[in-house]
A and B are shown apart, each in its own frame.
Chain A
Amino acid sequence: MSDTSMSTQRRPISSYLLRRPKVRLLGLLALPMTWIVGVYIFSLFLLLVTAFWNVDPFTSLVSPAFNLENFRLIFTNSAYIATSIRTLFIALAVTTVCVVFAVPLGIFMAKIASPRLRNALAVAITLPLWAGYLVKVIAMRLVFTEEGFFNWLMAPLGIRGPGFSIPIVILTLTYLWFPYMALPVYTAIRQIPPILFDASSDMGAKGFMTVYRVVLPLIVPAIIAGSVFTFSLSLGDYLAARFTGGSTQMIGSIIAANINLNPPVAAAYSMVPITFVVIYLMVARRTGSLERM
C-alpha cells in the first residue's frame, strides 16, 4: 500500500491516466487524429468539393456552387479519357515490371546469395531512395537522350533507344518505385521456412515448380503491398512524363496545367486516379491479401 502511494506521488500523470481510460485514449490519439482529420481528410475534402464549384472564365476565381459541368468535361473530352486510360496502362505496366524484377531478385537474395552479397544487394536497392526524386528523373533523362549514355553504350550492337516516349516513362517510374516492391517481396521470401523448400524437393518438385507452387502463393500479400505503392505512386506522377515522356501526357500533367487556371477541373480530374486506387484496393481486399499484410 505504501508503495503504491509512493509511486502515485512520484508519477502523478501516469496514475491520473491509469484511472481515466478515456483521457488516456484521447491523449494517445489527439495528435495523429488532428493530423489525419484536420490536415489530411479536411484538405482532401476541400479539394474534392471544389470539383463541383464554378470558376470565372476570365479571372479564374473560384466560387461555391453545385454543378457537374467539370465532370461532364472529363467524361466527354476524348483527350481526358485517352489520358486516363494511358495513365492506367502506365501504372499497371510499372507494377508488372516491378514484380517481374523483384521476385527473382528476392529469391536470389534470400535463398542463394552469400550474406555479404545479400547485404550489398540490399544496399544497392535502397541506395536510390537516398537521392532526390527530381535528380533521378533528370538522370534518366540524360541516360536516354539521343547522344546519351544508353545510345553510346548500345551503339556497337546497332541498338538505339526509343527516344522520350511511354516506354521510357515506364522505365523511369520503375526505377523510382522499385525499392517499394523489392523490399517487401524480399522480406516475405526470407520469412518462408527452409523446411518448405525441403518438403517441396522431397516430393519431387523442381526449382520452378517450387517457386510457382510454394513461394508465389506465400508472397502474394507482399506483392500486393508493394503494388499499392508502385501503382498509386505511378498514377499520380507527372514529372517523369514531363522530363522523359516526350509528348506523353499523364493525368498529373493535366491536373498541373489546370491547377492555377481552373482549379475545379483539376479537382474533378483528381477523382479519376482516386477512383482507380479505390477499385484497386477493393480488388486486393477481395483476394484477402490486405488482411495478411
Chain B
Amino acid sequence: MKRKNQVLFGALAVAAMVISSCGSDDGSADVEISVPDIPMHESMGDFEGELNIVNWSGFVEPAWTDKFTADTGCKVNPRVAGTSDEMVTLMRTGQYDIVSASGDAALRLIVGGDVQPLNIELIPNFSDDIAAGMKGNVYDTVNGKPYGVPIGRGANLLQYNDTITNGAPESWDVVWETDSPYAGKITAYDAPIYIADAAVYLMYHEPDLGIKNPYALDETQLAAAIALLKQQNTIIGEYWSDPVAQITSFVGGNTVVGTSWEILRKFAAQDNLKTTLPVEGSTGWFDSWLVSATTKNVNCAYAWMDYTSQPEVNGAIAVNFGMAPANVAFCGSSAEAQAHCDTFFAEDEEFFERIWPWTTPIETCVDGRTEVKCTSFQDWTNAWATVKG
C-alpha cells in the first residue's frame, strides 16, 4: 500500500477528476435507483395529537419538545436507538412516525419503501439557511426526490495525542501502514461502515483501483479495502464502538492515533488530544429526519420537521449532541453559537466537501457505474467479520 508511482497516478487522477467533474462533482449524482412508489403529503391538515420518534440520544429533549407540544398539540413520544441498524429495525415495525437517520440507515429505509418522499413546500424552514452541503445528497435525495430534512452533521476525524506525535499527522497512513510509528496504539471504528474509510484512503493512494465513491465498491475494490483493513488489524490496539471506551483509551494512553469525533475530543478534555482532517479527506455522518411511509401522524411529523429546522431549535439539538447544525443561521445568533459552529466546522463547506457522508452501500453503484454490480451492506458486514479474524 505504499505510494508507488504517485506522480503518474496523480496525473491520472487529475485527468479523471476533470472528466468526472463534467458529470458530477462528488461522483454520486445522476444515479437512477429503483424505489417503491410512495405518494407524498400534498397539503397540511389537522394535527393528529401525537408523534412517535426514533432518535439518537440527545435529539429529542423536553427543552424543545415542550414548546412544540404546546404549539401544535402533538404529544412527543421519543424512542432512543443506539445504532443505525436498530433504527432501521424499529422503523420497520411501523410503530413510529419519524426517525433521525444517519445516511447509512437512510438509503436502506428509502429503497426498502419504509419512508415517504417529502413535500418541501410544507417545510418553510427548510430554506437557504440549511447548509449547502447537506442538501441533495444521495443518501436522502433519490431520483431527484427529497426524503430527508437535514438535522446536523459531523466528521470522522483523525485524533492524535500531540505530546507523542509532536504535531498533526498529515496523512491517514499513521493508522493504515504497518511501519506506522504508533503501531499497537491505533484505534479504529468498530462497524462495517468503517470499510468506507479504507476506501477513502485507497482512493487517494491507489487511484488505479478506480474508486470514485467509497460507498460504491465493486468486488475487486471491496477486496482491496478488506486487504488494507486486515493489514491495519495487525497494528491496531483497539477497535471502538462505545464512545466511553474510546475516550478512556485515548486518556489512558492505550491509543495515540485513531478515528474520532469532535465531540469525543471535547469530552476527553485534555489539551494534548487534538483532531485533524488528513490530506485524504474522511467520512462523516449526516443526520436527517425521515417520515415513515405508513405514518398516521403525518401532519405532526411535518410540523416537527419544520419546528426543528428553526435556527434556535436546530442549534439546540446540535449543541446538545455535539455536531454541526444543519441550519447555519443559528451560528450568527450569539457568540456562544458562533463558537460552537466554529468548533464543529458548521459553516465551513470546504471542510465538509472533503467528507464523504455515510451512505448505505447498495447493489446499484451510487457513483453511476452501470456495467458492474456493487457490493451491498450485507457483503460489507460479512467482510467486516473477516477483518478482525
Residues of A that sit less than 8 Å from B by CB: 55, 57-61, 73, 77-80, 82-83, 138, 141-142, 145-148, 163-164, 242-243, 246-247, 249, 253-254, 257-258, 260-262, 265
Contacts and interface: CB of A to CB of B under 8 A. Distances in A.
Interface string B75-93: 0000000010110110010
Interface residues of B, number: 40
A58 B111 CA distance: 9
Ranked 5 nearest A-B pairs via Cβ: A145-B252, A146-B253, A260-B85, A57-B378, A79-B386
A141 B245 contact: yes
7 contacts: A78-B389, A83-B385, A164-B237, A242-B242, A257-B192, A260-B85, A261-B378
Nearest to A263: B89
Contacts of A147: 252-253
Contacts of B108: 58-60
A145 B379 CA distance: 34
A156 to B, nearest CB: 18
Contacts of B192: 257, 261
Nearest to B249: A145
Given A145-B252, A164-B237, A260-B88, 4 more contacts: A60-B108, A141-B248, A145-B249, A262-B378
Contacts of B384: 257
Name the residue in A61, A141, A249, A261 with the highest tally of chain B Cβ atoms < 10 Å from its Cβ. Answer: A261
A52 B384 CA distance: 22
Contacts of B131: none
B253 A249 contact: no
Contacts, number: 103
Given A163-B254, A246-B238, A260-B88, A58 B376 contact: yes
Given A58-B108, A146-B253, A247 B184 contact: no
Contact of B112 (A59, A163, A254): A59
Interface of B: 83, 85-86, 88-89, 92, 108, 111-112, 184, 190, 192, 233, 236-239, 241-242, 244-245, 248-249, 252-254, 362-363, 376-379, 381-382, 384-389
B83 A249 contact: no
B246 to A, nearest CB: 11
B228 to A, nearest CB: 15
Contacts of B244: 138
A257 B385 contact: yes
Contacts of B388: 79, 247, 249, 253
Contacts of B184: 163
Given A58-B111, A146-B253, A246-B236, A73 B382 contact: yes
Nearest to B241: A242
Contacts of B89: 60, 260
A82 B388 CA distance: 10
A260 B92 CA distance: 12
Contact of B381 (A61, A80, A141, A257): A257
Contact of A247 (B112, B236, B376): B236
B165 to A, nearest CB: 16
A82 B111 contact: no
B273 to A, nearest CB: 13
Contacts of B245: 141, 242-243
Given A146-B252, A242-B245, A58 B386 contact: no
Nearest to A73: B382
B385 A77 contact: yes
A211 B83 CA distance: 53
A58 B378 contact: yes
A254 B190 CA distance: 12
A247 B254 contact: no
Contacts of A80: 385
A59 B109 CA distance: 8
A164 B238 CA distance: 8
Given A58-B108, A260-B83, A249 B389 contact: yes
B239 A142 contact: no
A253 B238 CA distance: 14
B238 A145 contact: no
Nearest to B107: A58
A182 B93 CA distance: 46
A147 B83 CA distance: 30
Contacts of A164: 237-238, 254
B41 to A, nearest CB: 24
A225 to B, nearest CB: 34
A141 B236 CA distance: 17
A260 B378 CA distance: 11
A189 to B, nearest CB: 40
Contacts of A258: 381, 385
Contacts of B242: 242-243
Contacts of B377: 57-58, 261
Given A77-B385, A249-B389, A260-B85, A163 B237 contact: yes
Contacts of B111: 58-59
Contacts of A243: 242, 245
A262 B184 CA distance: 31
B113 to A, nearest CB: 9
Given A141-B245, A164-B254, A247 B239 contact: yes
B386 A262 contact: no
A247 B241 contact: no
Contacts of B252: 142, 145-148
A142 B249 CA distance: 9
A58 B83 CA distance: 17
Contact of B85 (A79, A242, A261): A261
